[in-house]
Amino acid sequence: MRELTRLIKEDMKPALGVTEPGAIAYAVASAKSHVDGEVKKVHVALNSGMYKNAFTCGIPNSSRFGNLYAAALGAVAADAAKGLESLADITPEDDKKASKMVDDHKVEVVLDHIGSEITIDATVETETDSCTVHIRHSHTNIVSIEKNNEIIYQADADHASEVRAEDEVPAIHRYTLKELLQYVREVPVSEIDFIREAFSMNMDLLEEGIQSDRTTITRQLLKENGHKIISEDAKSTAQLLCNGAIEARVLGLSRPAMSITGSGAHGIIATMPLFAYYQVNYEVVDDDILLRAAALSHLITMYIKEYSGKLSAFCGCGIAAGTGMACALAFMRNADEEAITRVIQNMASGLTGMICDGGNHGCTMKGIVAVDAAFRAADMAMDGVCIEDIHGINGRTPEDTMRNMGLIASPGMVQTEKTIVEIMEQK
């Protein structure tokens, strides 16, 4: 298996609801599994990205939202064995118990520090025991567990270090755009066939949103698409498939999304507009091209995200995944390297700077903006039109431009992250 295939395959993971509430519940449930007796106290400390993203986020199978209820449900009934889908089996009775825990002030979730790298420290206390689970660098990467002030689990160096040494170049950054394009054109389709699962999983999530009486934007997008899931308009179909699924996800409906770079919305934006374009243009775009385009979309998204950090103050869904998707739309139209470079420059000049104010209903509007921008950026690039590299943050090479996009987030928007969290807390 080629290294780039492995990177994509390892990055794709099902996630129920927005990833951060699932990760919080997973951490608390993991800590609870090591203690005996009734839970008396739950304390969770989060980095700003985690804290912000779950702050007003819907929780799967629950009428509640946000950090406190995610942590409480982790203590009540979450299944740590299911990872990011830890909340899959929550019942209405569990929801009531979690709500009572919050009302009784047994749950505390605090902002530990401003930072884009994921940190979760979840402590569960009973009359007899106390256990703390430490997660670093990715949503389910447990690096150590302490029980009653003794370390009972310590990850080995390789597992603990999903984070790289500061001077180590991420695998994806060892490739140029030219090499990424060579890979997606030459890789056997059988090697990337697993990507199909993203389309089917995200379509199931969309269907959940269409059927739900909680969604509002999905119904509007369905109306704009002629009350059809697949119409003759590729962009309107893309808006529905992409952002209907995002709305279902952020509201906490009960089906998972296929996440990439630790985010379901990234996974949805990186794939669903491509699936829409394929469905509308199936006479000229075959199945092989769809899979190759999706692979390119994943890789461009990962390239930008490695610079920006997993969770930051800019909307990686719109900016990183939106750029990946825009490049893939052009690829599906037989764009060459120069045209795809123009796509990247157009997206960098247009969307970079869109803020992330947590996983919430607003993600749907950001997705709508990203899809519009991607179709426009690709159309212009295919006609030879772009923002030239002398302007703004565009670099002399596509690799430089993607790097600059990421740097706007981290370290560029650290103060922005602090301000966003302060605004949310004041509400």
Whole-angstrom distance, CA of residue 402 vs CA of residue 116: 18
Tokens (6 digits) for 64: 């509640």
Whole-angstrom distance, CA of residue 323 vs CA of residue 404: 13
Could you identify the residue written with the tokens 């045209």? 339
Domains of the chain: residue spans and CATH: 17-113+118-160 (3.30.1330), 171-412 (1.10.4100.10)
- Our measurement of the distance from residue 266's CA atom to the centroid of its chain's CA atoms, rounded to an integer in Å, reads 4
- 110: exposed, middle or buried (C-beta count within 10 Å: 0-12, 13-18, 19+)? exposed
| φ/ψ (deg, to 5) at 385 | -105, 130
Q: Which amino acid is at 220?
A: Q
Helices (H), 33-176: 48-53, 67-76, 92-103, 157-160
Q: Is-contact 305 412, C-beta < 8 A? A: no
Tokens (6 digits) for 285: 């775009």
Q: Which of 333, 304, 309, 306 is nearest to 321 (CA)?
A: 304
Whole-angstrom distance, CA of residue 236 vs CA of residue 286: 20
Whole-angstrom distance, CA of residue 269 vs CA of residue 251: 17
Whole-angstrom distance, CA of residue 371 vs CA of residue 211: 23
Whole-angstrom distance, CA of residue 85 vs CA of residue 82: 5
Tell me the pLDDT of the chain (427 aa) as tens digits: 799 999 999 999 888 877 899 999 999 999 999 999 999 999 999 999 999 999 989 898 888 889 999 999 999 999 999 998 898 899 999 999 999 999 999 999 999 999 878 999 999 999 999 999 999 988 999 999 999 999 999 998 655 555 555 568 999 999 999 999 999 999 999 999 999 999 999 999 999 999 999 999 999 999 999 999 999 999 999 999 999 999 999 998 889 999 999 899 999 999 999 999 999 999 999 999 999 999 999 999 999 999 998 788 999 999 999 999 999 999 999 999 999 999 999 999 999 999 999 999 999 999 999 999 999 999 999 999 999 999 999 999 999 999 999 999 988 998 999 999 999 988 8
Q: What DSSP letter does each residue of 395-426 carry, written as one string?
A: -SSHHHHHHHHHHHHTTTTHHHHHHHHHHHHH
- DSSP code at position 273: H
Whole-angstrom distance, CA of residue 170 vs CA of residue 54: 27
Q: Is-contact 377 346, C-beta < 8 A? A: yes
Tell me if residue 34 falls in helix, strand or coil: coil
266: Cβ–Cβ under 8 A, 6 or more apart, which residues? 259, 260, 301, 305, 316, 317, 320, 321
pLDDT of 134: 98
User: How many beta carbons lie within 10 A of that of residue 287, not counting itself?
Assistant: 12
pLDDT of 159: 56
